Structure 1
Amino acid sequence: MKKALDSKLSHILFPLIAVLFGIIIGAIIMLLSGNNPITGYSALVRGIFGDMYFIGETLRTMTPLILAGLAVAFAFRTGLFNIGVEGQLIVGWLASVYVGLAFDLPAIIHLPLAIGAGALAGAIWGLVPGLLKARFHVHEVIVTIMMNYIALYVVNYIIRTFLLQPGERTGTISPSASLASPFLQSITDFSRLHYGFLVAIAACFVLWFVLWKTAKGFELRSVGFNQHASEYAGMDVKTNIVLSMVISGAFAGVGGAMEGLGTYQYMTVMAGFTGVGFDGIAVALLGANTAIGVVLAAGLFGGLKIGALNMQSQAGIPTELVDIVIALIIFFVASSYLVRWIISRLKKEGI
């Protein structure tokens, strides 16, 4: 009981310390660059909570970050490292926009179909590294990194060849496939907040339920802990590896659908990666790979990204400083994993 309590406490304490250290070092960098950290961080906080518009934009920014974080967290929980969330998100974005453009259906059918298309595209993109891992023991990190680039260039080719409209973008999706919410926009001073935020929160419940309340979730976690023991217990290790990557990819694909159906209502030819999928890795690490942790970490990252704009306009501090703070937080979170590993090794050796 005491060990379980200490483990839970460390999962909460280490991320909080990482955030604190990131903020402190960020303040030192502000001082060294001739800026006032109190003024800077005050502007940052006002840029997050000072206006309903900023709150709405923070929640809107959180939406794809939550789903990207869930994708990474799900794979982590099952012993896999899915760095391909960015590519899975991109193909999910395109698939959802295509369904939103190509069909004329009632909203009650059209919207779930478009979201489902995004999930399916992300799942298929996750299937490839899952199969290669399960059948040929090819490391998923290498494959998923390469799949990111394939997704980027294939999606750009498809848009340019089949869906291109003036402005290097697709057409705008049908209103029946849109997640836009006049109500949410009106109560947040016409921010771009949409119903996708509710979808992201529902996805957190799905992750928790699947992993902790189903027999299949127990199998997936068992395979992640120890493949050999799981196989000895009669579990189909290869199938569970593939299934884990497919589900992880589906979460990421839904994240892309939230951008395509909610924030933008279209997709542009992309000059580079969105960055959301890579930020999802940091969100999952900071959130200790738990559903509630992912929501809180996405809130922090989303708030920092939105508040940085106000910090630049009101305090004259470059937005890149917030990127430095985020990088420092990630560094300290990663360091906490190393510290825990060293402590566990010392305990095993009785030191």
Structure 2
Amino acid sequence: MSTGQLPRWVDLGLIPLINLVAAFFVSGLVVILIGESPVEAVQVLIWGSLGFGEGIGFTLFYATNFIFTGLAVAVAFHAGLFNIGGEGQAYIGGLGVAAACLLLDHIVPWWVTMPFAVAGAALMGAAWAFIPGYLQATRGSHVVITTIMFNFIAASLMVYLLVNVIGEAGSMQPETRTFVEGGRLPFLTDIIPGVDFGTAPVNFSLILALLACIGVWLLIWRTRLGYEIRSYGANPDAAVYAGINPVRTIVITMMISGGLAGMMAINEVMGSQHRLLIEFVTGYGFVGIAVALMGRAHPVGIVLAAILFGMLYQGGAELSFEIPAITRDMIVVIQGLVILFAGALEYMFRPTLVRLFASRRAPAAAAG
């Protein structure tokens, strides 16, 4: 049984499914109000995201970003921390990716540049998350506030650097020069025989994201540090009494979280855009919060939730094209409803399920 007197399969599977159904039910009512068929809308959304190769490719491309940011939020969750600075950490991670690509793309092939880009993204993201983590651990400054502020600082810093320091000379756009082949990750269409994702930019970073899922699972559930993180998140006072250093735990957890968020930049900067530019994050950090909540902070759940949001992004684009009455703004509303039910209203149905299972257990206990 899990916390809240519910079986584990209910807590990890049934509740997220009910929240998702509720979100789509309310979304269907919104579609009906504008005079369209929700059944047709769902069909178009699924076809647009999974019905052909290019749609699947874009779905996986978006899902890659959500996996990284979802893992970042999940690691912090396990320590009882709420890192909502994924946007800023991904921004700064982009600087690490761009530095590796700009320095090495003319010299070595992509598979040599990639480890340096991964290290640069992780280290820069971790460094950006270190300060909020240290402030909370030593000064009591809540990471929710500090990470929000650091998102704005990162955005402003990126504008300054792209305009005045690393921007391409003579360009009117705030961006670096385009990387040559040594700074570009290959698309999956080019490296997996028989797979055709069309023009979708899904690339090798999807494999890196799946490897990151395995790494997070090993860290959280198979290492001493992971045990300390989970123990501190479950009961900070008991963890301190048991000898766990709270400052060390908070700072290390935030750095790991920031490093994962920073690695999101690999998919966009080295895998798709092939240059560093303004606003390449575009909300992925915030959606990662809903992905982590819906995935119950477990790598497997995060992958599934990331694919769902990838479907919403890609299928939503097709939906607004096939059914003009359902505009892009309406798609944002549907995405917002999923985030609302997966996040803010996550436990709306939980008390009812607790009472239901308690009533089922009572006769069994009496008979026993």
- TM-score class, shorter: over 0.9
Q: Deviations over 1:216-239 (max 9, x none)?
A: 110111111122211111111110
1:198 to partner: Cα distance: 0.6
Correspondence for 2:181:
175
Correspondence for 1:135:
138
Distance 1:208 1:301, change over 3 A: same
1:160 to partner: Cα distance: 0.8
> Does 2:283 align with 1:275?
yes
1:105 to partner: Cα distance: 4.2
Correspondence for 1:306:
314
1:322 to partner: Cα distance: 2.4
Contact 2:83 2:254 in 1 (8 A): yes
Correspondence for 2:42:
41
Contact 2:2 2:11 in 1 (8 A): no
> Does 2:323 align with 1:315?
yes
Scaled by the length of structure 1, what TM-score is found? 0.92
> Does 2:254 align with 1:245?
yes
Contact 1:129 1:143 in 2 (8 A): yes
> Does 2:219 align with 1:215?
no
Q: Deviations over 1:285-330 (max 9, x none)?
A: 1111110111111101011110111111112221222222222222
| Distance in 2 (alpha carbons) for counterparts of 1:309 and 1:336 | 26
| Distance in 1 (alpha carbons) for counterparts of 2:10 and 2:301 | 13
Q: Deviations over 1:62-116 (max 9, x none)?
A: 1111100000011001110001011001111122012201234433432110111
Instruction: Give SS of 1:187's match.
Output: coil
| Distance in 2 (alpha carbons) for counterparts of 1:39 and 1:46 | 10
Instruction: Give SS of 2:346's match.
Output: helix
| Distance in 2 (alpha carbons) for counterparts of 1:100 and 1:18 | 42
Q: Runs of 5+ in structure 2 lacking a partner?
A: 358-368
1:5 to partner: Cα distance: 6.8
Q: In the alignment, which of 329, 340, 358 is matched to residue 331 of structure 1?
A: 340
Distance 1:323 1:92, change over 3 A: same
Q: In the alignment, which of 152, 155, 174 is matched to residue 155 of structure 2?
A: 152
Which structure 1 residue ranges, 4+ long, deviate > 3 Å from structure 2?
1-5, 338-345
Correspondence for 1:256:
265
Q: Deviations over 1:249-278 (max 9, x none)?
A: 0000001222111011112234x9610000
Matches within 5 A, 1:14-33: 14-33=15-34
For 1:297, the aligned partner's letter is A
For 1:217, the aligned partner's letter is G
Contact 2:90 2:263 in 1 (8 A): yes
Percent of counterpart pairs with the same letter? 34
Contact 1:67 1:251 in 2 (8 A): yes
Correspondence for 2:301:
293
Q: Runs of 5+ in structure 1 lacking a partner?
A: none
For 1:154, the aligned partner's letter is L
Distance 1:146 1:235, change over 3 A: same
Q: Deviations over 1:102-149 (max 9, x none)?
A: 234433432110111011000001100110011111111000000000
Instruction: Give SS of 1:113's match.
Output: helix
Correspondence for 1:201:
210
For 2:98, the aligned partner's letter is V
Bigger CA drift: 40-49 or 242-251?
40-49
Instruction: Give SS of 2:84's match.
Output: coil
Contact 2:6 2:354 in 1 (8 A): no
Q: In the alignment, which of 119, 122, 126 is matched to residue 123 of structure 1?
A: 126
| Distance in 1 (alpha carbons) for counterparts of 2:239 and 2:107 | 45
- Please provide the CA RMSD for this pair: 2.3
Distance 1:47 1:2, change over 3 A: closer
| Distance in 2 (alpha carbons) for counterparts of 1:342 and 1:35 | 33
> Does 2:108 align with 1:106?
yes
Bigger CA drift: 85-94 or 4-13?
4-13
The structure carrying a bigger helix percent of its residues is 1
Contact 1:308 1:319 in 2 (8 A): yes
